Amino acid sequence: MIIGEIEKGSDVSPVIYFYLSLTEDFKIASYDQDGHEFIAGNKNSPFYELGANDKCKKELEEFLHLVKENGKDRIITFIVDRNEKPCLTDIEGEYLPNEELCYCIKVWNIPVVEQMCLKHGDNVWKYKTLLGLSGQSLMDYDVDKKIVSVYRYVSDHSVREFYDTYDVFIEKIKETAEQSASNLALIEKLGDQFSCGDCTIETTIRTGFFNSEKKVQNVLIRARAGKADNHPMIFGLINVISGDEDNLPFYLTAAGLDSATGLLNKRSIVEYSEHVFNSEGNKDRKHYMVLLDIDDFKSINDNFGHQVGDRAIYLLASVLQQIVGDAGIVGRYGGDEFYILTDRVQDEEKLRSVLRRIKYHVSARAKEELNMEKFNLSMGISLYPDDGNNYKDLLALADKCLYIAKEKGKNRYIIYRPEMHKDIETGAVTKGISSFDEQAKSINRVVKDLFKNGVSAVEKVMVDVVKSFDLDSIDVFYRDMKKPMFSCGKYPSGLSAETFISDDGYMEKFDSNGLRVLNNHTSLRHSCVKVFDVLQEKKCMSLIQLYLVDPDTDSKYFFSCNMLNRNHKWSDAEISNLGLFGSLIFEVVSRQV
Tell me: the pLDDT tens digits for 218-272? 888 888 888 887 788 888 888 877 555 455 677 877 678 887 888 898 889 999 9
DSSP-based three-state secondary structure for 434 = coil
Q: Which of 303, 338, 308 is nearest to 320 (CA)?
A: 338
When mean pLDDT is compared across 65-79, 98-112, 160-174, 568-582, the lowest value belongs to: 98-112
Structure confidence at residue 129 (pLDDT): 67
Structure confidence at residue 494 (pLDDT): 73
Bridge partners (DSSP) listed for residue 430: 433
% of the chain exceeding 70 in pLDDT? 88
Alpha helices (runs of H) in 233-371, residue ranges in sequence order: 266-278, 297-304, 306-324, 348-369
Residue 273 burial (C-beta neighbours within 10 Å; 0-12, 13-18, 19+): buried
Structure confidence at residue 388 (pLDDT): 92
Give all domains of the chain, ordered by start, each with its CATH number. 2-108 (3.30.450.20), 119-240 (3.30.450), 250-421 (3.30.70.270), 436-592 (3.30.450.40)
Quote the crossing angle between the two packed helices 436-453 and 572-592, to the nearest 10°. 10
Residues 6+ apart with CB under 8 A from 364: 115
Q: Which H helix or E strand runs over 119?
A: helix 110-134
Give mean pLDDT, residues 566-586: 84
Structure confidence at residue 429 (pLDDT): 33
Q: Where are the beta strands (DSSP E) in 56-110?
A: 72-80, 86-95, 101-108
When mean pLDDT is compared across 36-50, 114-128, 139-153, the lowest value belongs to: 114-128
φ, ψ at 50 (rounded to 5°): -80, -5
72 pLDDT band, cuts 50/70/90, is confident
DSSP-based three-state secondary structure for 396 = helix
Q: Report pLDDT digits (tens) over 340-354.
A: 999 888 889 899 999
281 pLDDT band, cuts 50/70/90, is low
> What's the DSSP call for residue 409?
T
**pLDDT above 90 (res 291):** yes
Q: Which H helix or E strand runs over 461?
A: helix 458-468
Q: Where are the beta strands (DSSP E) in 343-450?
A: 377-384, 413-415
Structure confidence at residue 299 (pLDDT): 83
Q: Is residue 89 within 8 Å of 79, Cβ to Cβ?
A: yes
Give mean pLDDT, residues 457-484: 91
**pLDDT above 70 (res 12):** no
What integer best gives the mean pLDDT of the chain?
83
Bridge partners (DSSP) listed for residue 72: 94
Parallel/antiparallel/unpaired status of strands 556-564 and 473-478: antiparallel
Q: What's the CA gap between 106 and 296, in Å, rounded?
A: 43
Q: Is residue 558 within 8 Å of 546, Cβ to Cβ?
A: yes
φ, ψ at 96 (rounded to 5°): -80, 170
**Residue 229, CB half-sphere, CA atoms under 13 Å: how many?**
1
Bridge partners (DSSP) listed for residue 515: 546
DSSP-based three-state secondary structure for 514 = coil
Q: What's the CA gap between 139 and 237, in Å, rounded?
A: 6
Structure confidence at residue 96 (pLDDT): 65
User: 328 or 42, which is more confident?
Assistant: 328
Structure confidence at residue 1 (pLDDT): 25
* C-alpha torsion 468→474→478→482, nearest 10: 180
φ, ψ at 415 (rounded to 5°): -95, 130
Alpha helices (runs of H) in 11-109, residue ranges in sequence order: 36-39, 54-70
Residue 316 burial (C-beta neighbours within 10 Å; 0-12, 13-18, 19+): buried
% of the chain exceeding 90 in pLDDT? 26
Quote the crossing angle between the two packed helices 458-468 and 436-453, to the nearest 10°. 180
DSSP-based three-state secondary structure for 581 = helix
Give mean pLDDT, residues 125-135: 67
Q: Which H helix or E strand runs over 338?
A: strand 337-342
Tell me which amino acid residue 357 is: R
When mean pLDDT is compared across 146-155, 363-372, 456-465, 524-533, the lowest value belongs to: 146-155
156 pLDDT band, cuts 50/70/90, is low
When mean pLDDT is compared across 190-194, 238-242, 551-555, the lowest value belongs to: 238-242
Structure confidence at residue 157 (pLDDT): 64
Residues 6+ apart with CB under 8 A from 208: 176, 177, 214, 215, 216, 217
Structure confidence at residue 2 (pLDDT): 30
DSSP-based three-state secondary structure for 380 = strand
DSSP-based three-state secondary structure for 381 = strand
**pLDDT above 70 (res 563):** yes
Structure confidence at residue 5 (pLDDT): 36
**pLDDT above 60 (res 435):** no
Alpha helices (runs of H) in 6-81, residue ranges in sequence order: 36-39, 54-70
Structure confidence at residue 516 (pLDDT): 93
Structure confidence at residue 3 (pLDDT): 31
Q: Report pLDDT digits (tens) over 297-321.
A: 888 888 888 888 889 999 999 899 8
**pLDDT above 60 (res 103):** yes
Q: What's the CA gap between 501 and 542, in Å, rounded?
A: 17
